[in-house]
Amino acid sequence: MTEHKILPAPSPAEALRAALHAERPARAMGAHNPLSARLAEEAGFEVIWSSGLEISAAAGVPDANILAMPQCLEAAASLAQSVSVPVLADCDSGFGNVNNVIHMVRAYEARGVAGVCIEDKQFPKLNSFIEGNQDLAPIDDFAAKIRAATEVRRDLVVVARLEALISGQGMAEALRRAEVYERAGADALLIHSKRADPGEVFAFREAYTGDLPVIAIPTTYHQVTIEDLRERGFAMAIYANQALRSSLRAMRETLTKIIQDGSTHGVEEGIAPLKEIFDLQRMPQMLEQQARYEALGRDLAEAAR
């Protein structure tokens, strides 16, 4: 009789690496709490992006390193615990110097996060779409962060995020930094742009001759499809904030209508029934589990009589 061995499930980092090296680009959706992460998983996204912008917005503070690492870590860990797909965490510029990065990597890995993404801007960083200080970190300082992250991790994906195009330093600087970060040991590169067309990121992908998977964030060049990115050799698209933005508009419209109408009657048909909330909370599973163990407890008590 042939024995069939049950292979262990891949670790979160293994699942993320597989997504980065799949035949078609992986699709990651931004989230800031378990509810939004479960909705993204339910919709079919292969990766959850623990979005610094969304986490900051949910806390009501600017995306400018106002929140400390423990707050961002707790948010990312709650996502990792709530879904079965891997979570890639937006870790800004590493929350400080190389020693902060070492602490960060160990903490995020211990909490089940699949990967961390660090950007090569100065700490504290400012959201890339805000006019203000977008100065890059010295290339050697950031390369040291990447090397330290990859040396202390046990099973964690380390993504180097290139901000040269955001800061106005140009394509040559982006490519130079990509080469250095690859030599430093990064597992993937993320090229960021705030232009309304994808020309810059497409030009980068064509000019980059290294071996690392390349990730895009099509926030401002939103006409780009996943097929466009596949044809040009991208490994992942991160939709970093669309879920939050859509919920903001929906909540505002609902709340305004309730105030105007003086009741909730006019909004009930357009909002989710409570059952959907209960399902996302895993309420049916909780009740089933409770009933099963209560029945087991009764059987054990009966057997002891």
DSSP line for 202-244: HHHHHH--SSS-EEE--SSSTT--HHHHHHTT--EEEE-SHHH
Among 63, 90, 92, 187, which one carries the catalytic annotation? 63
Q: What is the DSSP letter of 72?
A: H
pLDDT in tens, 112-131: 999 999 999 999 888 998 88
Q: What is the DSSP letter of 154?
A: S
Say yes or no to pLDDT of 305 above 90: no
Say yes or no to pLDDT of 2 above 60: no
Distances (CA, A) of 87 to 11, 153, 156, 195, 269: 11, 16, 11, 27, 33
User: What share of the chain has pLDDT > 90, as a percent?
Assistant: 91
CA–CA distance, 48 with 236 (Å, rounded to integer): 12
Whose tokens are 């508009």? That residue is: 249
Say yes or no to pLDDT of 252 above 70: yes
Q: Name the token pair of 51.
A: 């979005």
Question: How much is the mean pLDDT over the chain?
Answer: 95
Mean pLDDT on 171-179: 98
Mean pLDDT on 28-46: 97
pLDDT of residue 3: 62
Say yes or no to pLDDT of 224 above 70: yes
Whose tokens are 């909730």? That residue is: 264
pLDDT in tens, 254-277: 999 999 999 999 999 999 999 998
Please, which pLDDT band fits residue 66 given cuts at 50, 70 and 90?
Answer: very high
Residue 63 appears among annotated catalytic residues: yes
Which of 40-44, 48-52, 255-259, 274-278 has the weakest average pLDDT? 274-278
pLDDT of residue 146: 98
Please indicate, yes or no, whether the overall pTM of this predicted structure exceeds 0.75: yes
User: What share of the chain has pLDDT > 70, as a percent?
Assistant: 98
CA–CA distance, 305 with 302 (Å, rounded to integer): 5
Please, which pLDDT band fits residue 134 given cuts at 50, 70 and 90?
Answer: confident
pLDDT of residue 166: 95
pLDDT of residue 304: 84
Q: Name the token pair of 28.
A: 């990651």
CA–CA distance, 134 with 126 (Å, rounded to integer): 7
What residue spans of the chain are helical by DSSP H? 12-20, 34-43, 52-59, 69-82, 98-110, 139-152, 164-167, 171-184, 199-207, 226-231, 242-261, 274-280, 283-303
